[in-house]
Amino acid sequence: MFNRLSKFIAVSILLAFAAPAGAAFNILACEPEWGALTQELGGDKVSVYNATNAFQDPHHIQAKPSLLARARNADMLVCTGSQLEIGWLPVLLRQSGNPKIQPGQPGNFEAARFVRMLEVPTRLDRADGDVHPGGNPHIQTDPRNIALVAAGLAKQLAQADPANAAWYQSRYQDFSARWQIALARWEKEAATLKDMPIVVQHKGFPYLEAWLGLKQVATLEPKPGVEPSSSHLAEVLERLQHQPARMVLRAAYNDGRSSDWLAERGKIPAVVLPFTVGGSEQAKDLFGLFDDTLQRLLAAAK
């Protein structure tokens, strides 16, 4: 039996060395929005793997074997940071045996460093629910943040992969020009959404609200990370009588039961926003993400 084991080990080692080494720069993106952004900036010179998809709650991910293998082979890690991935990323970093992606290295990119964080808590106490010390980490809902992160990512890509620095720079210029045009178009389209009162299921949209001037009137979760209870939902419904809202928003990964309940009782539409790339049919890339988001918001606002 030991012979079988040693044979197995020998074969695995041989296979490991026989596995073709990829010529492309391997990117492990923690969330699909950063995977999409890196794809825009890298083109065919990068090979992107998304650790999570739009239907997963990024707070509740496990460091499963497939992610460990990808972390070991990655040349660069592109994540949000601000402790969004604290439940699983430290395990990936420690167990991967990969020096390139450790914190502080050019291969470790933290998007939250490049934007102004909202909802930074004044006190850190778990009695307040699942609060993030660095502020609300869901920065991808504001396209201006995407632009800022893109600038930082282009620079860091050039640092981590200097051979293709000029390529990343030219692709960034192209992306940035297209993004500015799209941004101006979205802002014009969304002008009617200013000052619209809304209800959200989870406090995942502060950056979207800041960009479009939406006013968050209530949240379905009594505290961040705590499931909506029927008493709290009744309270929210009561509050809407005095402070009406126009719609209730949730992300594609949120469970719809409480939103649908409120939508029915409060006679307002329940809107599912893709929240990140892949969250809906139309949100195939970053441009589609905001096109679809605005389309859904405007359709509900009618």
Partner 1 sequence: MYKRKIIASGIIMMLGVPLSAIAADSAEIQQIRKEIEALKQGYEARIQALEQRLKNTELAASSAENHAVHAETAASQMAALPAPGTPTDSANAFNPAVSLILSGLYSNHSLDPAAYQLTGFHLPSAVMGDLQPQRGFSLAESELGIYASIDPMFFGGLNFAIHPDNTVSTEEAFIQTTGLQQGLTVKAGRFFSGIGYLNEQHAHVWDFVDAPLAYQAFLGGQFNNDGLQVRWLAPTDTYLEIGAEVGRGANYPGTGRDKNGAGASALFAHLGGDVGISNSWRAGVSLLTTAPQDREWDDTNPEGTAVTNAFSGNSKLWMADAVWKWAPNGNAYNTNFKLQGEYLRRVEDGSLVYDLNGVAGPGSYSATQSGWYLQGVYQFAPYWRAGLRTERLDSGSADYGVNNAFLSRLVYRPARQSLMLDYNPSEFSRIRLQFARDKSAQGATDNQIFLQYQMSLGAHGAHKY
Site for partner 1 in 213-242 (CB under 8 A): 225-227
Instruction: Tell whether residue 57 is a contact of partner 1 (CB under 8 A).
Output: yes
Instruction: Tell whether residue 23 is a contact of partner 1 (CB under 8 A).
Output: no
Total residues contacting partner 1 by CB under 8 A comes to 74
Q: Are 202 and 273 in contact (CB under 8 A)?
A: no
Closest CA to 224 of 110, 133, 142: 133
Instruction: Tell whether residue 144 is a contact of partner 1 (CB under 8 A).
Output: yes
Instruction: Tell whether residue 179 is a contact of partner 1 (CB under 8 A).
Output: no
Instruction: Tell whether residue 55 is a contact of partner 1 (CB under 8 A).
Output: yes
Strand order in the sheet with 247-251: 215-219, 197-200, 247-251, 270-273
The single residue among 45, 106, 113, 182 that binds partner 1, judged by CB under 8 A, is: 113
CA 221 to chain centroid: 20
Instruction: Tell whether residue 73 is a contact of partner 1 (CB under 8 A).
Output: yes
Amino acid at position 223, single letter:
K
**Shortest Cβ distance from residue 96 to partner 1 (Å)?**
7
The single residue among 25, 186, 253, 287 that binds partner 1, judged by CB under 8 A, is: 253
User: Closer to partner 1 at the Cβ: 45 or 72?
Assistant: 72
User: Closer to partner 1 at the Cβ: 89 or 249?
Assistant: 89
Which positions ≥6 away from 260 have C-beta within 8 Å? 270
The single residue among 45, 155, 164, 183 that binds partner 1, judged by CB under 8 A, is: 183
Q: Are 270 and 256 in contact (CB under 8 A)?
A: yes
Which of the residues 81 through 100 are near partner 1 (CB under 8 A)? 82-83, 86-91, 93-100
> What tokens were used for 23?
């010529």
User: Closer to partner 1 at the Cβ: 95 or 192?
Assistant: 95
The phi-psi region of residue 82 (left if phi > 0; otherwise alpha if psi is between -120 and 50; otherwise beta) is left
Per CB under 8 A, the segment of 35-43, 206-214, 230-238, 260-268 that binds partner 1 is: 206-214
The single residue among 43, 45, 68, 239 that binds partner 1, judged by CB under 8 A, is: 68
Q: Give the integer Cα–Cα distance in Å for 147 and 145.
A: 5
**Shortest Cβ distance from residue 236 to partner 1 (Å)?**
18
Terminal CA-CA length for the chain: 71
> What tokens were used for 175?
């992306």
Which of the residues 264 through 293 are near partner 1 (CB under 8 A)? none
Residue 133 gets which letter from DSSP? T
Closest CA to 198 of 127, 134, 120, 268: 268
Instruction: Tell whether residue 192 is a contact of partner 1 (CB under 8 A).
Output: no
User: Closer to partner 1 at the Cβ: 99 or 267?
Assistant: 99
